A and B are shown apart, each in its own frame.
Chain A
Amino acid sequence: MSSNRIRILLVVLFLIALGTLPFWASRYMVVIFLLMCLHTALASMWNLLAGYSGLISLGQQMFIGIGGYSLAVLSMYHGIPIFLSVLLGGVISLFLAVIISVPVFRMKGVYFAIGTWIIAEALGICFSNWGYVRYGMGLFIQPAYKLPISTIYYAALVICVGSVFITYLLLRSNLGLALMAIRDDDVASEAIGVNIFRCKFTCFLLSAFITGVTAGVLYLNTIFIQPFEAFGIGWTVKLLFIVIIGGLGTVVGPIVGSAVFVMLQQYLSEYVGFNLILLGIITILVIFFTPKGIVGTFQEKLGFEILPIRRQ
């Protein structure tokens, strides 16, 4: 059981460090960790779809846009308390996911990828032609001006830890077992009574809800929302990069991936124009040489997982 104890110790130490961060770190550090937390949550949700459910979505940005716009509209136009608006953003994303699941679950593989992308693009066009949200000019989320950075950081931390542990628990539940059975052999798993549609549908809804809530917190920090940025494919590019670098289909992968991504982004921001080129090159190189990502490769070499999803 010693490896189990090390595991718990590592996780607890990590959480204590993160939980006390605003008390000892500089504001810059807090912002960096805030970004890492948000990207981890978003990437975990994309990973849940792509890495475990076999649903490669190129349309996660639709929930980011909906979450962000819900926050802006509800808190500014309707005076709803700001964190309630963030939660409602998740609920609205959930509704959107239920509605679009009718068409997108008829699509398989690459059609699913394209279908989700086109829905996100269509929503972007709708929002940029909608006077209520000031067309393509975007909205400044005024109620978020007064929030101290540490409040936003704790919100992000809660979402980050929450999303990672929900993924972890979900994958260790019967649903996770069913998902792995589907991934390994969908015909055989259906024959022994796994309801493929329900498993994938659950993951899709969960990912929509958490992505919507995370987007709300993200826009508390950004303060400004604009349709082509919010509904842009750029979000999925980032998530894809994070998950590939970290390790597709591992629980810890998105955490490591978003740490690497945020650091790279900070470091490369001096070289405007080159940073995205480099991200593209790194993605291709990782797929060629370490297709399992950083975490996957380490797990294979050391035989040690920090958050194992297999039952012992």
Chain B
Amino acid sequence: MLTSLEPLINGLLLGGLYAVIGIGLSLVFGIMRQVNLAHGELMILASYLSLVFLQLFAIHPMMTFLFVIPVIFILGYLIQTFLFNRVLEKGMESYLMISFGLSIILQNLMLLIFTPDARTLQTSLAIKSLNVLDLFNVPVILLVDFLTGIIVLGLLHFIMKKTYLGWAIRAATDDLTAARLVGINPRKVYALAMGIAVITAAISGVLVGMTFTFYPHSGTQYLIIAFGVVIIGGLGSLPGTFLGGLILGVSQLLGGRIIGPGLQLLSGYIILLIVLTIKPQGILGRR
């Protein structure tokens, strides 16, 4: 048994989940140069929505995507149209504060509706583990997280490269004035992009709900993870986000093994601060 390999393997698998957590934040930053501080709350909101549908229809958590994704997409679209689009020209402060206000509202609404109790999206996957070649054990749920993560990143890559919407988003990112000239309505593109970003957040939220327990205030913790992922990899870069997720996941689990589980989060933060100091634009960042 090579149990010493376990933190490394699990860290890599967890990294796939972290990449999905971060990708929405990275997408929004890449396009609008703004940071959505309500990202974590939107994630956890999706976890709770999934819980509601789960109890309503008695289905598998993965099936709740069918209901959660449309609901959360509409929410993201409306948030961008009615809140964020109104302050785009007013600079970073206004956007940060609006999203901050939104995160406080969402967090406390969830607290009010769902109580502060710990919740989880129960599946039989959570307790199974896979023995690989008699060498080490891999929890099945982390494998599911990782594979879903790969699929989400792949789909996003496809959307950005092959669809009209993707072209419009990338055009608005590269040169806003030119994009306007060829008939792209930036506000609509932003709203759709926010919708997509929020969908990725929702998917990660459901995965997190299946893997760990969550509370109404868990959003903050995952927002920081999302920041970690996109800053290590580079804001606005898709391959960078994946790499950032893997680095953060591995550093957390290895750090947890070496210096103790209480300090697991700390090792991730330290890696993050080192990257922020040495190369603030991230490992694969542009500029």
Residues of A within 8 A of B (CB): 50, 56, 102-103, 106-111, 113-115, 117-119, 121-122, 125-126, 128-129, 233, 237, 240, 244, 248, 273-274, 276-277, 279-281, 283-284, 287-288, 291
In whole angstroms, how far apart are the Cα atoms of A50 and B231 in the complex? 22
Contacts across chains A and B counted by CB atoms under 8 Å: 107
Contacts of B260 in A (CB 8 A): 129
B96 near A287 (CB under 8 angstroms)? Answer: no
A283 near B263 (CB under 8 angstroms)? Answer: no
In whole angstroms, how far apart are the Cα atoms of A81 and B259 in the complex? 36
Q: Mark contacts of B197-237 with chain A using CB atoms, 8 A cut-off: 1 yes-contact digit, 0 otherwise.
A: 00000000000000000000000100010011001000000
Task: Judge if B156 is at the interface, Cβ distance under 8 Å.
Answer: no
Choice from B105, B109, B280 contacting A106 with Cβ under 8 Å: B280
A83 to B: closest C-beta gap in Å: 33
Q: Is the interface of B mostly helix, strand, loop or mixed?
A: helix
B92 near A118 (CB under 8 angstroms)? Answer: no
A30 to B: closest C-beta gap in Å: 29
Q: Mark contacts of B244-280 with chain A using CB atoms, 8 A cut-off: 1 yes-contact digit, 0 otherwise.
A: 0000000000000000101101100110110011001
B266 near A111 (CB under 8 angstroms)? Answer: no
Knowing that A115-B276, A129-B262 touch, tell me 12 more A-B residue pairs with CB under 8 angstroms: A56-B93, A103-B277, A119-B273, A121-B265, A129-B260, A240-B100, A273-B111, A274-B108, A277-B109, A280-B108, A281-B101, A281-B105
Contacts of A110 in B (CB 8 A): 29, 35, 92, 96
A126 to B: closest C-beta gap in Å: 7
B100 near A107 (CB under 8 angstroms)? Answer: no
Contacts of A283 in B (CB 8 A): 97-98, 100-101, 104
A114 near B97 (CB under 8 angstroms)? Answer: no
Contacts of A103 in B (CB 8 A): 273, 276-277
Task: Judge if B83 is at the interface, Cβ distance under 8 Å.
Answer: yes
Q: Which of A110, A279, A281 counts the most B-chain CB atoms under 10 A from its CB?
A: A110
Contacts of A113 in B (CB 8 A): 35, 96
A287 near B104 (CB under 8 angstroms)? Answer: no
Choice from B83, B94, B104, B280 contacting A108 with Cβ under 8 Å: B280
In whole angstroms, how far apart are the Cα atoms of A106 and B276 in the complex? 8
B265 near A111 (CB under 8 angstroms)? Answer: no
In whole angstroms, how far apart are the Cα atoms of A230 and B161 in the complex? 46
Task: Judge if B102 is at the interface, Cβ distance under 8 Å.
Answer: yes
Choice from B93, B94, B104, B269 contacting A280 with Cβ under 8 Å: B104
In whole angstroms, how far apart are the Cα atoms of A14 and B53 in the complex? 57
Known: A117-B224, A125-B266. A280 touches B101 (CB 8 A): yes
Choice from A107, A129, A237 contacting B280 with Cβ under 8 Å: A107
Choice from B97, B107, B262, B269 contacting A121 with Cβ under 8 Å: B269
Task: Judge if B2 is at the interface, Cβ distance under 8 Å.
Answer: no
B104's nearest neighbour on chain A, judged by CB, is A280
Choice from A106, A111, A276 contacting B104 with Cβ under 8 Å: A276
Contacts of A244 in B (CB 8 A): 97
